[in-house]
Amino acid sequence: MKPVTEVTAELIAKAQELIKGQSPVQKALTSASGFAGYDLQPIAILLQPVITPLRNRLPRVGPNGGGTSAEWRYISSLISKGVTTATPSAEGAKGNALSYAATHVTAAFAEKSLSDSVTQAALDAAKGFEDDLKARAHTNLLYALMMLEERDLLFDRVTALGTITTPTLVVSTSAGGIGAGTFKVYVRPITGNGDGTITRGKKSAAATTAALSGSTNQIIAYTTWVEGAIGYEWYVDDGASGTATLQTTTGVNAVVLNALTTSGAALPADNSANAIGMNGLVAQLTAANGAQITTLATDTTAGLGTDFTLAHIDGLNKLVWDTAKGNPEVIYMNSTQRMRATNLVLVANGAPTLFVQAGTEDMAEITGGYLLAKYINKATGRVQRVETHPDLPDGTMLAMSHMIPFPTGGDMVGVDIQVSTDYRQIDYAQTSNKYEFGVFCREVLRMKFPGGAWVLRNIKSNVNG
């Protein structure tokens, strides 16, 4: 070792002088030092449920050829009106001639598409976490299209909703919390479509209250049901702002207003029709097409709607059988209506008996709660499935025959989806540092047996039996 020079010794002395009185050098490393990894679970968890019962159940039928629309015919009656018997005739003579009741339907294919993109920077950043980020984006895009397609199958419509009547108002001066003023009330019917928004029909004319005083006023409003609607939006102009704003949305054609807000959305334009769309179930299941429709009574006193009973379901099942020999396999309900239907069945049949099986590990356990999973069609004996549909609004339920329950001379499918082009992915030309792509399909809903379906609507939101 070389000897310490005079210069080196001087530098050491200065360094020692500088650290006098300071804390000793930290040698130990702890978790607080910041030398820690990042415990990230690989692959992002998708918490958006993809619930598409109609899309999953309905057959997807390929095209019969080219063209821009699907065409089909259905025969609703073989026997002419007034012909009740096979009238006896002389040997070799002609009997009564049949006159078929047939309907020709033409429906344009509707293209449904969504697009997305992934940047190169996102791909690089996702390495070790989502190693194939593009594949995940493609899958998510397909799921999103399926979810919006499910709404289309229910609510999409080509023609606009009909005109709505001016609401009738019933005012109480002691039942609510509305202050003094003169108020204008508007209502508009709404339906849903596949882009995830609520589409709105034409607004009504204004219904105007008398000049109200005090601070305990209540307004009940009601209107007539509009064919094709799934609910109603209610707007109020308080006279001060000069703008009608959204107060609430109901699944029935009545409302009770105990307080008002001025922060709701303003009245939008009529956008209830989708000219390049297709007609979904709500648009096709009409009385004019042969479906059995029951609209419960308008609640003119409380503005809450009318409770349904099991007799309503039984009556509609009977009407479908008596009228068209339809025999629906499934009843679709909102979660509120399904809970009420469960409670109604329990009340009608008495509290069920609980059984405990001896010799099992869980013999001391008991499971609470019941769910209406099936319902007996009292007109035909068929066991109907009861399902909660995620998009069906509170206030409406429907049942339909997925299969035609008698020989048709052709296929016996009561409702299907005819596709011109089924799900297809397109990768667009890359023009920047990102990858753009889309998923689309072109299809139309064919309701070939509307007489085998029923709709019950204007139902009060109530789970109690």
pLDDT tens-digit series, residues 139-154: 999 999 999 999 999 9
What single-letter DSSP state applies at residue 289?
G
Ranking 11-25, 51-65, 215-229, 266-280 by mean pLDDT, the lowest is 11-25
Strands (E), 240-382: 244-250, 254-257, 292-295, 330-333, 374-376
CB 209 within 8 A of CB 192: no
The per-residue pLDDT for 446 is: 93
Domain check: are 372 and 415 in the same one? yes
pLDDT greater than 70 at residue 25: no
Residue 329 domain-assigned (yes or no):
yes
**Domain assignment present for 403:** yes
For the chain, give the number of residues: 465
- Let me know whether 238 and 285 are in one domain: no
**In terms of C-beta distances under 8 Å and separation of at least 24 residues, what long-range contacts does 99-105 make, across chains too?**
100/75, 101/75, 101/76, 101/77, 102/73, 102/74, 102/75, 102/76, 103/73, 103/74, 103/75, 103/76, 104/71, 104/73, 105/71, 105/72, 105/73, 105/74, 105/446
Q: Are residues 246 and 381 in the same domain?
A: no
300 within domain boundaries: yes
The neighbouring-strand residues paired with 219 are 171, 257
CA 152 and chain centroid, separation:
9
- Whole domain around residue 372: which residue ranges? 53-78+99-158+277-357+367-457
Same domain, 284 and 376: yes
| pTM of this structure | 0.84
Asked whether 328 and 384 are in contact (CB, 8 A), the reply is: yes
pLDDT at 200 over 70: yes
Q: Are residues 351 and 329 in the same domain?
A: yes
Residue 70 lies in a domain: yes
Lowest mean pLDDT among 102-106, 118-122, 184-188, 399-403: 102-106
Q: Are 293 and 349 in a shared domain?
A: yes
Residue 439 falls inside a structural domain: yes
**How far, in Å, CA of 183 to CA of 97, rounded?**
64
Q: Summarize pLDDT for 82-99 with one digit per residue, the tens.
A: 555 666 667 777 766 655
CA distances from 56 to 53, 150, 153, 413 (A): 5, 9, 11, 15
Residue 43, domain member (yes or no): no
Q: Which structure tokens are listed for 409?
A: 């001379």
Task: Based on the fold, state whether residues 203 and 350 are members of the same structural domain.
Answer: no
439 neighbors 145 (Cβ within 8 angstroms)? yes
Residues 233 and 343 in one domain: no
Six-digit token pair at 345?
């069945």
Of 225, 257, 289, which residue sits at a domain end? 257
Look at residue 71 and give its three-state secondary structure. strand
| Predicted local distance difference test score (pLDDT) of residue 91 | 76
For residues 38 and 129, give the distance between their C-alpha atoms in angstroms, rounded to a whole number.
11
Confidence of residue 168 (pLDDT cuts 50, 70, 90): very high
Of 257, 290, 324, the domain-final residue: 257
Do 304 and 338 belong together in one domain? yes
Q: Considering the domain boundaries, does residue 59 fall inside one?
A: yes
Is the predicted pLDDT of residue 195 greater than 50, yes or no?
no
- Round the average pLDDT of the chain to a whole number and report it: 85
- Give the C-alpha separation, 206 to 60, whole Å: 45
pLDDT for 98 equals 59
| pLDDT tens digit sequence for 247-292 | 999 999 999 999 999 888 888 888 888 888 899 999 999 999 889 9
> Which pLDDT score, from 0 to 100, does residue 425 have?
94
Task: Decide if pLDDT at 73 tops 70.
Answer: yes
Fill in the amino acid letter for 28: A
20 occurs within a structural domain: no
pLDDT tens readout for residues 413-425: 889 999 999 999 9
Q: Which CATH number is 123's domain given? A: 3.30.2400.10
Q: Are residues 308 and 433 in the same domain?
A: yes
Higher pLDDT: 465 or 235? It is 235
Same domain, 318 and 178: no
pLDDT digits (tens, 9 = 90+) for 284-336: 999 998 899 999 999 999 999 999 999 999 999 999 999 888 999 999 999 99
The total of structural domains in the chain comes to 2
- Alpha helices, DSSP H, located in 217-327: 281-284, 310-324
Quick one: 178 and 104 in the same domain? no
